[in-house]
Amino acid sequence: MKFTIRRKELLQSIQDVTSVISSKTVIPILSGLKIDVHANHIVLTGSNSDITIQRTIPNIVDEEEIITKMEKGSIVLPVPQFPEIISKLPEDIVDITVGENYKTVISSGTAVFTLYGQNSEEYPVIQHQQVEPHFSYHIKQLKSIIKQTVFAVSSMETRPVLTGINVIIKEKEITFTATDSHRLAMRTSRLEDSSIDEANIVIPGKSMQELQKVLDEKLETVQIAILNNQIVFFTDHLFFSSRLLSGNYPDTSRLIPNNSETKIQIYTRDFIQTIERAALLSNREQNNVIDLETKENNNIQISGKMQEVGEVTEQLPAISVEGNELKISFSSKYMLDSLKAMDHETVIINFTGAMRPFVIKTPDDESILQLILPVKTF
């Protein structure tokens, strides 16, 4: 195996596949990065058995030959050393040649590295050439959906299924839901031209975070295929597959209240800053719980208290306050996560009493919904 490549393009692709590679893998060879040299392109593979990422680099990009002197073959090289070496080489061009016993010589300028590679035949086979995509999706939209839901997945392994995002396809609609049982984030969108009508799967939150990092926003769409226990995402030069979580995801629809007793519309940025201030004096052991109280003239009051340290009270004008008077306590962390995920100038919050979950939406977009359970403090 042999090739000469522009360092910049190689480095970029290495970074995309390296993030999932871990030295703590049960399959030792997965601690390395696999390189395959084909006739007109090379393929880099990184995997942690849950997630596999492959990057293809074609030998010609924009009519420029970026890979030359190609001789077919494959090798597995040690991480983090191989990526570190490529990032620190002195010249713009790098030569990689595999010799006897998988010894791989990497040279650039007068720097000559020898890495003891491993036999790529021991690397698990990734079968994806045969996979037919079921539907395609806008990359920008998918990345925004991940951002708006993934923070709400559970970090506790006690209910493994809650560490994932539930994706339901039904009646030409796709719904993404994440909950840790204290809060919930949900986003729906239309799904046209899908070759599957129904699906109900759970994708690990960590996989979605990795996917968000490697999806290139300069591309328009990503192709998606849902297999038996796997989901696969493709673009021209990327292949990303993730194991699915098994187990039944709870039916969350009945959690979401339909009525509203108090409805507040407020400027998101001002609200975020006021909550951040109140959180400074709130009890950390209790997820930084703060209080919200409706006041006269469309004002709301936010307050916090930290034992033996102090307390804080701040009034801020809402755009509107409708319905019953309200006093409620909630985790400032959950509220801030939700408000920041909404990414909208104003938000509408619908409360149904101090002890019931409340719902955060934006004024003109029914596709996104955040729900938070209040905290009993009195």
As measured in angstroms, the least distance from the Cβ of 141 to its own copies is 34
Q: For residues 37 and 115, which CB has a smaller minimum distance to its own copies in the complex?
A: 115
In this structure, are residues 332 and 278 in contact, taking their beta carbons and an 8 Å threshold?
yes
Question: Which residue in the block uniquely carries the two structure tokens 């493994």?
Answer: 160
Q: Read out DSSP for 31-93? A: GEEEEEE-SSEEEEEEE-SSEEEEEEEESEETTEE-EEEEE-EEEEEETTHHHHHHHH-SSSE
As measured in angstroms, the least distance from the Cβ of 280 to its own copies is 5
**Binding-residue pattern over the window 85 to 114 for its own copies, x denoting contact by CB under 8 A:** x--xxx-------------------xxxxx
Distances (CA, A) of 363 to 1, 164, 240, 338, 369: 58, 28, 35, 15, 11
As measured in angstroms, the least distance from the Cβ of 23 to its own copies is 12
Nearest CA among 312, 311, 328, 309 for reference residue 274: 312
Widest Cα–Cα separation across the chain: 81
Select the residue interacting with its own copies from 37, 57, 67, 78 (CB under 8 A).
Answer: 78
Regarding 375 and contact with its own copies (CB under 8 A), the answer is no
As measured in angstroms, the least distance from the Cβ of 315 to its own copies is 5
As measured in angstroms, the least distance from the Cβ of 338 to its own copies is 20
Spacing of C-alpha 114 from chain mean position:
36
Regarding 9 and contact with its own copies (CB under 8 A), the answer is no
Q: For residues 165 and 318, which CB has a smaller minimum distance to its own copies in the complex?
A: 318
**In DSSP terms, which residues pair with 262 in a beta bridge?**
323, 351
Stretch touching its own copies by CB under 8 A, among 39-47, 160-168, 272-280, 350-358: 272-280
As measured in angstroms, the least distance from the Cβ of 328 to its own copies is 20
**Binding-residue pattern over the window 25 to 64 for its own copies, x denoting contact by CB under 8 A:** ----------------------------------------
Contacts of 133 (CB under 8 A, 6+ apart): 223, 224, 225, 232, 234
Binding site for its own copies (CB under 8 A): 78, 81, 84-85, 88-90, 110-116, 273-274, 276-277, 280-281, 306, 308-316
